[in-house]
Chain A
Amino acid sequence: MRFVLRRLAFYLVAFLVAATFNFLIPRLMPGNPADIMLAQAQGTIPPEAREALMETFGFINEPLHLQYLKYLASIFTWDFGLSVKYYPTPVIDLLTRALPWTVFLTGTATLLAYSLGTLFGIRAAWRRGGRFDSLVSPFALALQSIPAVVVALTALFVFAVSLNWLPTGYAYDPALEPGLDGAFLSSTLLHALMPVLSLGLVLVGGYLVTMRNNMIGQLGEDYVHLAEAKGLSDARVRYNYAARNALLPSITAFAISLGSVFGGSLITEVVFNYPGLGNLLYTGVIARDFPLIQGQLLIMTLAMLVANFAVDLAYVALDPRLRRA
């Protein structure tokens, strides 16, 4: 319990640090974001809105610490201002619309990649140098160094453009009305297939290599030899003894990989024009839509922290030492 509380406190502070960065970035950068945005928007924003825009960034005639406090208050009330690109839609509406798609995409892809990578890693380590290992491990090493953008572009070219098997983009057929009927759901799955698989492919190599290396470390330990000497079945030694312990460092590695999960999903969403947070951030960045960008960064940080916390909880469930501490 104390461990969980300590982690929670850490995430709260980390969130405040991120929020402070978010507050400082537009103030440290050259130029005034409100003016850049007005120039970019080319007439979609009425000039009267300039004052309101300035206020969105806290560029009000008040000392810095008051600006900061006002900014913090706006975060905790989820008030990120109005989007410029989609004026006058509030940023929070855009975010809540995009969030489920990103959660769906990253969740499915990570789950798939982590389970497959871990299972294959266990197998590869068990017969080190065997046929499975010498086939799968070099492949995983190569996969690990292939950027998400290359995988996504290749998949797009081969399966959507050349073979014309799968749709080139978006989350569902735009002709369909979103709802819980069969046609819409199957269209969603069909559109998700390529993004999920290419993001999964980007991630699976890293998980496989980490698990294999951890597992090899465990297989050299005395307790594994004891288990073998006791005559336990291979499967029992492999999964209940070695793999269970090899899983702990692999979960830490998983937490660290969350950054690349979000980065990878950003690229995948842009390439496949998938309506998630990453694509929204990209649109915002290209349009220099600063309220949208700032809201995005906070939401993404929050998502990252929540995912990290989930990993911590998994760690507590797997490591009995932490439950007592």
Chain B
Amino acid sequence: MLGLLKIFLRNRKAAAGLLIVLFYVTVALAAPIITSHDPNKRVSRPHQPPGVEYVMGTTRMGRDVYTQLVWGTRTSLMVGILAGLIVTLIGTVVGLTAAYYGGATDEALNFATNVVLVLPQLPLLLVLAAFLGQVGPLAIAVIIGLTSWAWGARVTRAQAMTLKNREFIQASQLIGEPVWRMILVEMLPNLLSIIGFNFIGSVIFTIITQATLEFLGLGDPLSVSWGTMLYNAKNASAITVGAWWEMVAPCAAIVLIGVGLSLLNFGVDEISNPRLRTLGAIGKAMKLQKKLDRERLLETEA
């Protein structure tokens, strides 16, 4: 376990990503400690610019942007992780089942996956949210989870298919291992990097999609999250009246967690696929070689 962590931290991208994500998790967990009042409490006059008392300024409603941002981190992370878990669970089960059983099961599951993949997702989510009325963060997490599993299922299936023909799987088949053992003990560990990739990608996607849905006014306006902050800022015409801080704070929070999670994901990708690494050492060696070549060329010409 410790060895794995060491490999992980040696990759600069993964380490930076992990640091950002840990920071967010800490903020979300420590929300009651690092804020002093309810996020929806009116503490000041509307649209106070950032200053000593309110580090990130106040909203049109006179609410403290910093407190809202901290509590919003809690909501957004929770929704992201919940939806990520649902997506990963469905995607992995569908992908593994299709790959393992093959034949008609594979045909049916693969067909379902492809259909979900070609449906326009955001419009569909918008319509679902519209029919359900203004929905809370948990409902949003479930809806996103249930509609976004297709990509993961496809990737998991493709990877599991390549595993199926490896010798150790065929050996376990010949020994007569039960199906559950073959899937859980032989195949699953070899799919972990792709499952992790799928999970982190889904968390990013969910956080972005949740913020988007809420920005469009389809969330519960009373819940505190980055999306409702954007929605309130839009309704208060924060941009046109020059209250940029009301808009910038949630935007920056979304961008930074997105960058952190992507860095983590690309780190994972590079660790499992060394070809993708941009190693400084290789670059330097190549440059040196070129220089030597050029000098040699000049020498022979002279």
**Do these two chains really belong together in a complex?**
yes
Most buried by B among A33, A282, A303: A282
Shortest CB-to-CB span from A191 to chain B, Å, is: 18
Contact of B212 among A134, A149, A157, A258 (CB under 8 A): A149
Q: Is A266 an interface residue (CB 8 A)?
A: yes
Q: Is B69 an interface residue (CB 8 A)?
A: no
| Proximity bits, A147-159, B CB within 8 Å = 1, else 0 | 1111001101100
Shortest CB-to-CB span from B212 to chain A, Å, is: 5
| Distance in angstroms between the alpha carbons of A21 and B278 in the assembled complex | 46
| Proximity bits, A20-39, B CB within 8 Å = 1, else 0 | 01000110010001000000
Most buried by B among A13, A144, A145: A145
The size class of the interface chain A forms with chain B is 35 or more
B123 near A297: Cβ-Cβ < 8 Å: yes
Q: Is A305 an interface residue (CB 8 A)?
A: yes
Instruction: Tell me the A286-313 residues at the B interface (CB within 8 Å).
Output: 286, 288, 293, 296-297, 300-301, 303-305, 308
A270 near B216: Cβ-Cβ < 8 Å: yes
Contact of B262 among A18, A33, A142 (CB under 8 A): A142
- Count how many pairs of residues, one from A and one from B, have CB atoms less than 8 Å apart in the complex: 137
| Distance in angstroms between the alpha carbons of A303 and B118 in the assembled complex | 10
Closest chain A residue to B242, Cβ basis: A161
B255 near A25: Cβ-Cβ < 8 Å: no
Q: Is B117 an interface residue (CB 8 A)?
A: yes
Instruction: Tell me the B114-133 residues at the A interface (CB within 8 Å).
Output: 114-115, 117-124, 126-132
Known: A129-B283, A157-B244. A262 touches B120 (CB 8 A): yes
Q: What residues of A have a CB within 8 angstroms of the CB of B8 in the complex? A: none
| Proximity bits, B237-261, A CB within 8 Å = 1, else 0 | 0011000100100010011001101
Q: Is B56 an interface residue (CB 8 A)?
A: no
A14 near B123: Cβ-Cβ < 8 Å: no
B120 near A146: Cβ-Cβ < 8 Å: no
Instruction: Tell me the B195-248 residues at the A interface (CB within 8 Å).
Output: 204, 208, 211-212, 215-218, 230, 239-240, 244, 247
| Distance in angstroms between the alpha carbons of A161 and B247 in the assembled complex | 14
Q: Is A11 an interface residue (CB 8 A)?
A: yes
A297 near B211: Cβ-Cβ < 8 Å: no
Q: Is B280 an interface residue (CB 8 A)?
A: yes
Instruction: Tell me the A263-293 residues at the B interface (CB within 8 Å).
Output: 263, 266-267, 270, 278, 281-282, 285-286, 288, 293
A308 near B247: Cβ-Cβ < 8 Å: no
A145 near B255: Cβ-Cβ < 8 Å: yes
Q: Can you list 12 A-B pairs, Cβ within 8 angstroms, ordered by A?
A: A25-B127, A25-B131, A147-B254, A149-B211, A157-B239, A216-B276, A259-B122, A263-B123, A267-B122, A278-B123, A297-B120, A304-B120
Which A residues contact B (CB, under 8 angstroms)? 10-11, 13-14, 17-18, 21, 25-26, 29, 33, 128-130, 133-134, 137, 141-142, 144-150, 153-154, 156-157, 161, 213, 216-217, 220, 256, 258-259, 262-263, 266-267, 270, 278, 281-282, 285-286, 288, 293, 296-297, 300-301, 303-305, 308
Query: Assuming A266-B123, A281-B123, A297-B120, what are 6 further A-B pairs, CB within 8 angstroms?
Result: A33-B131, A129-B279, A141-B262, A293-B130, A297-B127, A303-B120
6 smallest beta-carbon distances between A and B, as pairs: A145-B258, A263-B122, A129-B283, A147-B208, A145-B262, A29-B131
